[in-house]
Structure 1
Amino acid sequence: MDEWYRIDNTGKIFHAVSDTTNSSVFRVAMILKEQVDPECLQSALDIVAVRFPTLTVRVRKGLFWDFMEHNDEQLLVKQEVDHPCAPIDRKENNAYLIRVLYYEHRISVEIFHSLTDGGGAMEFLKTLVYQYLRLKEHDVTADDKVLRPEGSPKREETEDSFERYATSHSVRRPEKRGEKAYQIEGKMLDPPGIHVVHGVVDASALNRHAKSLGTSLTGLLTSVLIDVVHEEKIRQGSPEGNVVVALPISLRRAFPSETLRNFFSVANIGVPMDGYMQFDDIIGTVTEQLMEKTDKARLQQGINRFVSLQSSLFIRATPVFLKYPIMRFGFNQIGERAKTMTLSNLGNLTLPESMKPHVKRMEIILYPTRKSPINCGVGTLNDQLTVTFARSIEESTIIRSFFRRLRQMTGLEVMVYSNRWGEER
């Protein structure tokens, strides 16, 4: 009998809300110091795919929820030719919701968000790159920092940690709906796609600058982002509305878990900006909200509320063809309207010392949506912090202003490069 898995509590949402303007596909990537050998990468993937059974699945339709089952087809490596985070065509991808791409020195893993979050995706990518380097006969060791390809999956890796850590399943009243946030508008790219801009900066130096201002690295980046978005908002003479940055928060630190499935919360960091506001005040407000909204007790409330909602008899008994439109409406009217954009910082990736000489840096690309046409991914590797903006609109003022402000504020050099999608007609 084929092994099957329930889609985790967060994953169900992405099944409901994905469409042509919201692929729900994100990317994690590593830039190597050598050209990628596609045959070797395919051999590595054939070995690694078996190690991650909850990622190498196909989705089946159920009456009340979709579910995942083991996929016996081969997951094929492909050369990157399209824009990042394009919707995954299951028919062209042997029914998988994960794709592995290569381009020159880059190995990319793109995953439909129902399968896992950034933490789970990075574990897959680390193991894939590790196995690739082994097959290329580089002297690398796992050092307990990489899940070994030949290892057996642990039961803890497949668990739904929301269920494990929920302390109450009673149905709670939802939180009061927040005010509508300011939302960025623009002309859609032609041809439609995702334009990506990466900015690389010295992570240690930027972290020192953040601490000198009394905040964290994430706090600094969020504050700069809010400031430049607000400037653009004022320039356009837009009506009042808070600038709100949604920050996905991994729950694994506060609630120890080895799960390779979704286990994160979202903290909406908003600054009520009416006219000009000093940057120091923005940093103070952002830092205070970050501490408040990542407090363990606050995160526990979020877990309980999330699980209790999906445990309700009404939700469980509603057929999926009715349930998904309801969830999509809730996502658009409550989730999307409450934020200006998303900034996802996966933090400092820890690799074995033997792997570091073979890898330059990492990239995180977060798909834009109709109401958040610009989103931001951040990741650090080898002391290189990469900030990546993905946009589906032509307007790029906010992105250019962000990198210019970062340079002016810190005095640090920022190396910027792009995929140039939509620039050449």
Structure 2
Amino acid sequence: MQNRRDTYPIDTAAKLFPPTARPTNTSVFRLSVLLKESVNPKALQQAAETTLKRYPYMAVRLGRYGFEQSDASFAIQEETGTPCAPFDSAKEPFLLRILWYKRRISVELFHALADGTGGLEFLKTLLYSYMVLLGRDIDPEGKVLLPEGAMSDEEYEDSFLKYYDGAKAPVYKLPPAFKIKGGPLPAGGRNVLHGVLSVDGLKRAAKRQEATITEYLCALMVYSIYRECINESLDDEPIVLSVPVNLRGAFPTRTIRNFFCVINVSVPIGHAKTFGGALRIVKEELRQKTQEKNLRDALAQSCAVMEHPVVKAVPRFMRDAGTRFVFAFFSEDVKTMTVSNVGRIDLPSDMLPYVDHAETVIYPTERSPINCCMCSVDGKLTVSFIRTVKETGLMRYFFGFLARETGEEVTVYTNDWGTLDGKV
């Protein structure tokens, strides 16, 4: 049993999510692994209980003074709804779900609890515990936080405050970005479309363009949006991708909580008309904005407002109203889509024979009705689109381009919500 506390602090980034969460902006993301055999629910339930004991700061609910330890019994669920559904605090005593469906094991987290990197650590421990319970001989290779390991205070620290030096960084109001529009799916419905392909083929295609995989895929996203969503006679706003960046690479930390910033990659319509033009701008923007100085500015921007003494002194309802205003006009208004690359999921080699591929899904919002997330495991990359609109041209063009340019087969599948006879 780990040392438990009654409460855990809410990190600086997490303060954004509770005031802005609503059914059309759930602030819930998903991490999944597709196994090569059907899930054993009994073993998964045991693994969930064991894992939550290892991560007591994840077994919490949102209280008045921070995250409060939840003493309710945790139960895994067979998946029946659509991904990234909102959490109902009146009915759900936790801020995470563990779901299973056929061969899939999924962890869904309210974003206030952790970011993708922290969520992956939790998922890896869950998978390790599950496989050990099934009698598998797994050498963790130092890649998994073991269920019997000791929790450290660093795991739930607020790394924003640890590395914030009090410096001020300018905050600019950016111009409005192009918005994707379309006919809405039935209320509450979220279609998820996944495409799986070889990492090696994608690496070769990106290398030919002297680009990283993230740069290549972001440029392709911009070009696909231009090809399928923009009417030139009506739209001259830039296509802007919001790209979450893991700050752990620049600032060493063991935190499982949120520790990321978001950079906006803005491509003028004139450059988006060709893939090469889009790629040139994407490379310039990503490389410049991920330099250490600019990441420090992004960290300062996150902390300067939320940690300002005047802001902290005002009543909570006023602070929450201000947060919603900032979110609407400095986040939602200035982006077209979120594109998040969670990266390679580094599993122990003994676990890989039992894993087919992985999925990551990030919630859509009212003004970003299509968002995209990607991850890889054991040489397979999965690109996952989530949408609340009926139109599918963007995804069809994106995966068609990938298949042509990489020479790799792209396996596409969907949850069928919002499709006609399973056709996308």
Q: Is 2:100 the counterpart of 1:97?
A: no
Question: Given the alignment of the two structures, is residue 308 of structure 1 paired with residue 307 of structure 2, yes or no?
Answer: no
SS at match of 1:406: helix
Query: 2:213 maps to which residue?
Result: 217
Alignment of 1:60-209 (within 5 A): 60-62=63-65, 67-93=66-92, 95-168=93-166, 172=168, 174-209=170-205
Letter of the 2:114 partner, please give it.
T
Provide the residue aligned with 1:291 in structure 2.
287
- Equivalent pair of 1:162/1:263 in contact (CA under 8 Å): yes
TM-score, normalised via structure 1 length:
0.95
- Opposite residue 155 of structure 1, the aligned amino acid is D
How much is the aligned-residue C-alpha RMSD, in angstroms? 1.6
Query: Is the Cα contact below 8 Å between 2:190 and 2:388 reproduced in 1?
Result: yes
Alignment of 1:367 with 2:350, yes or no, is: no
Q: Quick one: distance in 2 between partners of 1:14 and 1:99?
A: 17
- More deviation, 226-235/100-109: 226-235
1:207-356 alignment to 2 at 5 Å? 207-235=203-231, 237-274=233-270, 277-356=273-352
2-side partners of 1:377 and 1:144: how far apart? 27
Q: Whole-Å Cα distance in 2 between the matches of residues 304 and 174 of structure 1?
A: 9
Aligned partner of residue 52 in structure 2, secondary structure: helix
The question of whether the paired residues in 2 share the 8 Å contact of 1:191 and 1:422 is answered with: no
SS in 1 for 2:195: strand
Which residue of the other structure, out of 7, 11, 16, is the alignment partner of 2:10? Answer: 7
Q: Distance in 1 between matches of 2:77 and 2:337?
A: 30
User: 1:353 is paired with a residue of what secondary structure?
Assistant: coil
**What amino acid maps onto 1:71 in structure 2?**
S
Question: 4+ runs of 1 displaced by more than 4 Å?
Answer: none
- Percent identity over paired residues: 38
Shift of 1:18: 0.5
Task: Say whether residues 1:18 and 2:21 are aligned partners.
Answer: yes
Q: Identify unmatched segments of 5+ residues in structure 2.
A: none
Distance 1:194 1:236 in 2: 28
Match of 1:32 in 2: 35
Q: Deviations over 1:334-390 (max 9, x none)?
A: 111111000110111111111111111110001100000000010000100000000
Q: Deviations over 1:242-288 (max 9, x none)?
A: 00111100001111111000000111111112387332222111111
Q: CA deviation at 1:332?
A: 0.7
- Correspondence for 1:57: 60
Quick one: distance in 2 between partners of 1:252 and 1:387? 23
Would you say the 8 A contact 1:3–1:70 is kept in 2? yes
Classify the secondary structure of the residue corresponding to 2:178.
coil
Distance in 2 between the 1:387 and 1:80 partners?
Answer: 21
Preserved contact between residue 223 and residue 274 of structure 2 (Cα < 8 Å): no
Q: Match of 1:20, as an amino acid?
A: P
1:260 & 1:122 partners in 2: Cα distance? 9
- Residues 69-107 of structure 1: CA distance to partner in whole angstroms, max 9, x if unpaired? 1111122100000000001123333x1010000000000
CA distance in 2, matches of 1:276, 1:41: 46
**Cα-to-partner distance string for 1:198-242 (whole Å, 9 max, x where unaligned):** 000101220121011011000010000000111224347432100
CA contact (8 A) 2:345 2:377 kept: yes
Q: CA separation in 1, counterparts of 2:169 and 2:241?
A: 24
Alpha-carbon offset, residue 174 of structure 1: 4.2
The CA distance in 2 between the partners of 1:227 and 1:276, in whole Å, is 5
Give the number of equivalent residue pairs: 418
> In the alignment, is the contact (CA less than 8 A) between 2:372 and 2:386 conserved in 1?
yes
Moved more, 24-33 or 224-233: 224-233
Gap runs ≥5 in structure 1: none
SS in 2 for 1:274: helix
Change (3 A) 1:140 1:319: same
Moved more, 32-41 or 317-326: 317-326
Deviations 1:33-53 (A, max 9, x none): 111011110011111101112
Q: Give the partner amino acid of 1:110.
A: E
Q: Normalising to structure 2: TM-score of the pair?
A: 0.95
Contact 1:86 1:193 in 2 (8 A): no
2:47 aligned partner? 44
Q: Could you tell me how far apart the structure 2 residues matched to 1:193 and 1:23 are?
A: 12
**Structure 1 contact 102–108 (Cα < 8 Å) conserved:** yes
Q: Distance in 2 between matches of 1:206 and 1:414?
A: 11
Q: For 1:423 and 1:145, how far apart are their aligned partners in 2? A: 39
- Matches of 1:84 and 1:202 in 2, distance apart? 25
Cα offset, 1:409, TM superposition: 2.1
In structure 2, the residue corresponding to 1:388 is in which secondary structure?
Answer: strand
**Structure 1 residue 318, shift from structure 2 partner:** 1.3
- Alpha-carbon distance, 1:396 to partner: 1.3
Which amino acid counterpart does residue 143 of structure 1 have in structure 2? E
Match for 2:85: what amino acid?
Answer: A
Match for 2:403 among 402, 407, 410? 407
CA contact (8 A) 2:229 2:394 kept: no
